[in-house]
């Protein structure tokens, strides 16, 4: 969700664009390494799930940057139309790609033959509408809200965050917003440290633990991003894109900590979402891209970040099934893993240029007021 397409009167946060793209690529690698893990305890590139918290935090910052000065002057309907036009075309694309890939997968991990065409069409339809699948509608059998494109779960919560913002959170004073952030942060920290998992890799299903954890992730990070925007004052920082990106990669790739002592890993997750991610966003918002090559790189990474996040996972299902059925090691399947990453980035770029941008332009002209060009592409 790039930050660079703001009105001419507002600054461009190119570094944040680039960092979002780096986080999206790390999500792809995190999902690739799921194929070699028996649980979160032994998965390599172990903390890639925290990229979602980074996305939520950045989303709150950008929503505040784009809309907070218009509090009370934008209706609920106008705001939601803008958000749907920005977000939903790629939700639909991810669902359609997921439905096609599911039908074509043909691997023993998931028995496609047991799913009728009607059930698959229905699953694709509700995924495209971002309606969570119940147990009886879940065609893959993993308990996911969106079994054709797993990452859609975070868009479900993103919409919840947007609705809460326009109905409630945007009306809070900075002091009340600070109290909300503190309370939600305490709740999420308790879930991470003393909860049943020792991490916050939750939110993808409708079970009590998953939904509670997912909602806490959204409520804290989105609200914290908005608070960070409200109190943000740029500082002279020497931490540019490369250092920030390297730190983000290290944090997301960190091995599981503590083993069976789950609370240790919970503390790590808490430090990331409560301290280190806000610090990285502060650095990124304060820094500037100093040459055109850096601007082009960060713009490209920001442009593909959301499409990449939304289209890569159907390939991961295929890759996972292939690795499991052939009992392959990472070394044996490395060329295919590199191919999945490259193909996902290419598909994301093609979707962006030939589907997402043209469709959003059409929908904006059709349904939004003429001031639409002042709306950020968050």
pLDDT tens track for 43-57: 999 999 999 999 999
For 243-283, how does the pLDDT look when each residue is reduced to its tens digit (9 = 90+)?
A: 999 999 999 999 999 988 999 999 999 999 999 999 999 99
Residue of 139, 123, 92, 167 whose CA lies nearest to 355: 92
Model's pTM, two decimal places?
A: 0.93
Confidence of residue 238 (pLDDT cuts 50, 70, 90): confident
> Residue 303: its pLDDT value, please?
98
**297: which residues sit within 8 A by CB, 6+ positions away?**
18, 241
Cα within 13 Å of Cα(22), Cβ side: 25
Name the token pair of 168: 């409630």
pLDDT tens track for 273-296: 999 999 999 999 999 888 899 999
pLDDT for position 289: 84
Is 272:53 a contact under the CB 8 Å cutoff? yes
Q: How far apart are CA 211 and CA 157, in angstroms?
A: 10
Rounded CA gap, 250 and 338, in Å? Answer: 19
As a residue count, the chain comes to 378
Residue in 73, 51, 13, 79 with CA at minimum distance from that of residue 221: 51
3-class SS at 336? helix
What is the residue extent of each domain of the chain? Answer: 14-374
What pLDDT does 370 receive? Answer: 62
Which of 270, 249, 185 has its CA nearest to residue 222?
185
Q: Residue 108: pLDDT band by 50, 70, 90 thresholds?
A: low
Query: What does the alpha-carbon distance between residue 126 and residue 227 come to, in Å, rounded to a whole number?
Result: 34
Percent of the chain clearing pLDDT 70 (strictly above): 93
Contact 124, 99 (CB under 8 A): yes
Give residue 372's pLDDT band: very low, low, confident or very high (50, 70, 90).
Answer: very low
What distance in Å separates the CA atoms of residue 159 and residue 144, rounded to the nearest whole number? 18
Q: How far apart are CA 27 and CA 150, in angstroms?
A: 12
**111 DSSP assignment:** -
Q: Which residue has the higher pLDDT, 110 or 310?
A: 310
Contact 274, 185 (CB under 8 A): yes
Confidence of residue 73 (pLDDT cuts 50, 70, 90): confident
3-class secondary structure, 264: helix
Question: What pLDDT, on the 0 to 100 scale, is given for residue 374?
Answer: 42
Tokens of 282: 């502060």
Sequence-ordered list of residues with C-beta below 8 angstroms from that of 156, at least 6 positions apart, any chain:
130, 132, 145, 146
Q: What is the pLDDT of residues 111-138, one digit of tens each?
A: 777 888 999 999 999 999 999 998 878 8
Radius of gyration of the chain (CA): 20
Please tell me the predicted confidence (pLDDT) of residue 107: 66
> Considering only 79-88, 183-192, 369-378, which range has the smallest mean pLDDT?
369-378
User: Token digits for 182?
Assistant: 């503190």
């Amino acid at each position: 969700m790039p930050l660079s397409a703001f009105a001419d009167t507002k600054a461009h946060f190119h570094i944040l664009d680039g960092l979002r793209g780096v986080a999206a690529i790390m999500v792809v690698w995190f999902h690739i390494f799921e194929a070699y893990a028996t649980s979160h305890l032994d998965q390599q590139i172990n903390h890639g799930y925290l990229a979602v918290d980074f996305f939520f935090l950045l989303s709150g910052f950008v929503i505040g940057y784009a809309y907070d000065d218009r509090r009370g002057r934008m209706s609920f309907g106008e705001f939601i139309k803008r958000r749907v036009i920005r977000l939903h075309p790629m939700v639909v694309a991810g669902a359609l790609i997921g439905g096609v890939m599911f039908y074509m997968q043909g691997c023993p991990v998931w028995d496609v033959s047991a799913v009728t065409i009607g059930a698959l069409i229905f699953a694709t339809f509700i995924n495209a509408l971002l309606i969570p699948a119940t147990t009886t509608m879940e065609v893959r059998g993993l308990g996911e809200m969106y079994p054709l494109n797993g990452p859609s779960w975070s868009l479900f919560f993103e919409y919840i965050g947007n609705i809460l913002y326009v109905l409630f959170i945007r009306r809070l004073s900075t002091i009340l917003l600070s109290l909300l952030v503190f309370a939600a942060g305490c709740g999420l920290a308790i879930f991470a440290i003393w909860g049943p998992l020792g991490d916050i890799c939750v939110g993808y299903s409708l079970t009590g633990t998953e939904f509670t954890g997912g909602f806490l992730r959204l409520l804290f990070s989105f609200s914290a991003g908005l608070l960070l925007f409200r109190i943000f004052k740029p500082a002279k920082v020497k931490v540019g894109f490369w250092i920030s990106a390297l730190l983000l990669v290290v944090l997301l790739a960190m091995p599981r900590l503590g083993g069976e002592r789950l609370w240790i890993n919970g503390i790590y997750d808490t430090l990331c979402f409560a301290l280190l991610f806000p610090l990285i966003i502060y650095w990124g918002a304060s820094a500037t891209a100093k040459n055109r090559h850096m601007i082009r790189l960060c713009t490209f990474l920001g442009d593909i970040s959301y499409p990449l996040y939304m289209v890569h996972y159907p390939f991961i299902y295929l890759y996972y099934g292939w690795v499991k059925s052939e009992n392959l090691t990472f070394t044996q399947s490395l060329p295919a893993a590199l191919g999945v990453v490259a193909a996902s980035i290419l598909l994301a770029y093609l979707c962006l240029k030939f589907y997402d941008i043209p469709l959003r332009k059409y929908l904006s002209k059709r349904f939004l007021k003429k001031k639409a060009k002042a709306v950020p592409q968050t």
